[in-house]
Amino acid sequence: MGYKVGIVGATGVVGQYFIQILKEKLWVDALYLAASEQSKGKTIENLEVRTIKELYKLPLDLVFFSAGKTISLQWAKRFAKKAVVIDNSSAWRLKRNVPLIVPEINCEELKPHHRLIANPNCSTIQLALVLHALKPLGLQKVVVSTYQSVSGAGMQAIEQLAMEILGWNHEKVLPTTLFLNCIPQCGAIDHEGYSEEEQKIHKETRKILRLPRLAIHATAVRVPTLVGHGESVWIRFRRQITLEEVRSLLEQQQGIRFYAEGYPTPRQLLGSKDIEVHVGRLRRDLSDERAIGLWIVADNLVKGAAGNAVQIAEYLIEQQWL
């Protein structure tokens, strides 16, 4: 028997990936789409787009929320009374009783009573999986700089970049022009000088790894790639390590593809629906024998969003909790 599945935010960048991934799943009995009032009546893959109120009236087993924090705050708990909700927004991620899950790291935190589950931020997921693999070496400090694709900022940001490439006037949703540029700001900047994305990386990574005092310093940068986030990461351990130890742990980690030669780039992920986290450029810090540098790339729409959420759902199905 299959499940009745809803997607809130189905017309968005992540929503479209949910549709593509879910339409191939045999456990999906019926797929229902919802978006804002302005999309009501559209069809995607021959499926009608409803409003969230209309979706709420339908019988559902599982709902993926991907319409931003405000909509999740307003609706996710209501839906969670009738279905399991996996939320892609930042609304519930740091709440104590809401599990924040990267299946390869902490799916054992899920319990049958969990009806609202949070999917972490895209940049966080790929970093957290690498740090999880290296946790046995004793993490002391992490410094990460991200190279985040435009799709990470949603459909309107993609439109902005497209219009800039064409040289047409368009409303800006990013802080400035992205074409032929890099913008060292992802989300609003707070009173301490950190962007929203940097705070998410900092706080969510600590929660997922269960390392509440891990030192993490992040700089999040938007770059004019379409799909796939890159991350340059520096990690210091509590003791002296060898590159062989690091490499061996990365190679053993489920969900990671390690590059002993060459390196991954975001371009190779375009359209691939690749769920792996790609890691390369592993090297020793020449001035610190306890530290390494490496480069991480993952698809922000797959492992960073829809793919990770669907992996969570499949874990629940395996446990027969759905």
Ligand X SMILES: NC(=O)c1ccc[n+]([C@@H]2O[C@H](COP(=O)([O-])OP(=O)(O)OC[C@H]3O[C@@H](n4cnc5c(N)ncnc54)[C@H](OP(=O)(O)O)[C@@H]3O)[C@@H](O)[C@H]2O)c1
- In the complex with ligand X, which residue's Cβ is closer, 34 or 296? 34
As measured in angstroms, the least distance from the Cβ of 67 to ligand X is 3
CA–CA gap between residue 300 and residue 215 (Å, rounded): 24
- Residues touching ligand X, count (CB under 6 A): 31
CA–CA gap between residue 101 and residue 113 (Å, rounded): 15
293 scored as a contact of ligand X (CB under 6 A): no
Three-state DSSP state, 120: coil
Query: Of the ranges 4-12, 132-140, 178-186, 238-246, which one interacts with ligand X (CB under 6 A)?
Result: 4-12
Q: Which residue is nearest to ligand X (CB)?
A: 12
The footprint of ligand X on residues 108-147 (CB under 6 A) is 122
225 scored as a contact of ligand X (CB under 6 A): no
Q: Which residue type occupies 58?
A: L
Please confirm, yes or no, whether 229 is among the known catalytic residues. Answer: yes
| Contact predicate 80/56, CB 8 Å | no
The footprint of ligand X on residues 85-104 (CB under 6 A) is 88-89
User: CA 126, 127, 132: angle at the middle one, nearest 5?
Assistant: 105
- In the complex with ligand X, which residue's Cβ is closer, 203 or 237? 203
User: E strands, the chain, where?
Assistant: 3-8, 28-35, 43-44, 47-51, 62-65, 84-87, 116-118, 139-148, 215-222, 229-237, 256-258, 277-284, 291-298
If we measure between CA atoms, which residue out of 103, 109, 106, 76 comes closest to residue 92? 76
For ligand X, the binding residue among 154, 175, 224, 293 (CB under 6 A) is 154
The footprint of ligand X on residues 44-73 (CB under 6 A) is 52, 66-69, 71
- In the complex with ligand X, which residue's Cβ is closer, 37 or 244? 37
Active site residues: 122, 229
Residues engaged in binding ligand X (CB under 6 A)? 8-15, 34-36, 38-39, 52, 66-69, 71, 88-89, 122, 151-152, 154-156, 300-301, 304-305
